[in-house]
Amino acid sequence: MAPTETAPPETAPSDPPIQLLDRSGKLSTDDRLPLDLATVDLATLHRDMTLTRRLDTEAIALQRQGELGLWPSLRGQEAAQVGAAHALRRQDMVFPTYREHGVAWCRGLDPVALLGLFRGTTLGGWDPYAHHFNLYTLVIGAQTLHAVGYAMGLHRDDSTGTGDPDRDTAVLAFLGDGALSEGETNEAFVWAAAQNLPVVFFCQNNQWAISAPYSVQSRIPAAQRAAGYGFPGIRVDGNDVLACLAATRQALHRARSGGGPTLIEAVTYRLNAHTTADDATRYRPAAETEDWAARDPLERLEAHLRSTGAVTDDHFTDLEQRERDLAEQLRAGCRELAEPDPASPFEHTYAQIPADLRQQLREHLEFVSTGPQDGERQ
């Protein structure tokens, strides 16, 4: 019988993703992914995940209040992002998509700066070198090539395999499941493998590329693809912050030591719609979302912390206050973001402005200074 639109091709059976912290908050070990708990600061992981979620929640509210044009929510992906970010060293370079608010937070970016792009006050928002965190990339998969290019530079600068912990550097490139179907991503994988580059591809497989489910994009788990390019792939529970941390540490260590690329597939779920302009209920069954909500990454870590007594009640009380402060900082900071200078796109396109562009700039400034015309909306 001919396949129909409702019956996507069957995906190959696969092992469950590696998990160190189960949904009830119970710890276990896995020989494939060793993790020395003495090197893990659980309270800080919990703090960063909680504040990341609050940042996200507040940004959604600001969008609904007309202060932001758009916001891509990371809700449900806090463990994947915070886990991966905590494996980084200062000199490692991150290439994010537009949803890596948790990584940005852990890298120390001003959270208000994240809002600028979505308020339309900037085309970038921060200095990529200040925190070794590149600008958000909106073109799906494009950042994988930027990451590979940066890794080529590291290779040529002999910044890998020296054994000097302050010198050896790796690149961490983020991507989603949708990017796996893009040409750029496949080029990046091929090139990274061919040149044995110090890059880790961290794929948050959140199951949905806007409205396209992963099942219509691939017949095999994302991690299995790595073998075809010739580098290791590892599949972890993306809602388990410890598994994400351990896998990224292992992969970054290999990259810094000259061992080449790794693909990490963090199996997770985008609990909210693709962005605030999307309505996920039109393509996604509610039962699926509820099922994933029950595997919440924050709840399981909190359950672990409470059941083991790893932190005191003060931790939670302090955190609540920090959440409120962060929310207030975002609300006030968002409204105070400076309006962009109308000349800035012209000034930043070329090192020296060509004559015809200078003419356009003059005309543009003149046009802007006259204000809105009749019949035009502001």
Residues of this chain that interact with another protein (CB under 8 A) are 1-5, 58, 61, 63-70, 119-120, 273, 276-279, 281-283, 286, 289-290, 293, 327-328, 331-332, 335-336, 339, 372, 377-378
Query: Please, where are the H alpha helices in 195-312?
Result: 222-229, 241-256, 286-293, 297-308
Residue 293 CB, nearest approach to another protein (Å): 5
The residue among 86 and 119 lying less far from another protein, judged by its C-beta, is: 119
Distance between CA 108 and CA 133 in Å, rounded? Answer: 9
Residue 312 CB, nearest approach to another protein (Å): 16
The residue among 71 and 202 lying less far from another protein, judged by its C-beta, is: 71
The residue among 34 and 345 lying less far from another protein, judged by its C-beta, is: 345
Residue 231 CB, nearest approach to another protein (Å): 35
Residue in 177, 173, 184 with CA at minimum distance from that of residue 223: 177
Residue 267 CB, nearest approach to another protein (Å): 20
The residue among 50 and 185 lying less far from another protein, judged by its C-beta, is: 50
The residue among 54 and 249 lying less far from another protein, judged by its C-beta, is: 54
The residue among 59 and 172 lying less far from another protein, judged by its C-beta, is: 59
Distance between CA 260 and CA 256 in Å, rounded? Answer: 8
Packing angle, helices 42-64 and 297-308, rounded to 10: 140
Query: 233 CB contacts (<8 Å, ≥6 apart)?
Result: 222, 223, 224, 225, 226, 227, 262, 263, 264, 265
Residue 73 CB, nearest approach to another protein (Å): 13
In the sheet that holds 233-237, the strands lie side by side as: 93-95, 171-176, 199-205, 262-267, 233-237
Taking each continuous run of H as one helix and of E as one strand, the counts in the chain are 13, 7
Query: 305 CB contacts (<8 Å, ≥6 apart)?
Result: 25, 42, 43, 46, 311, 315
Residue 323 CB, nearest approach to another protein (Å): 12
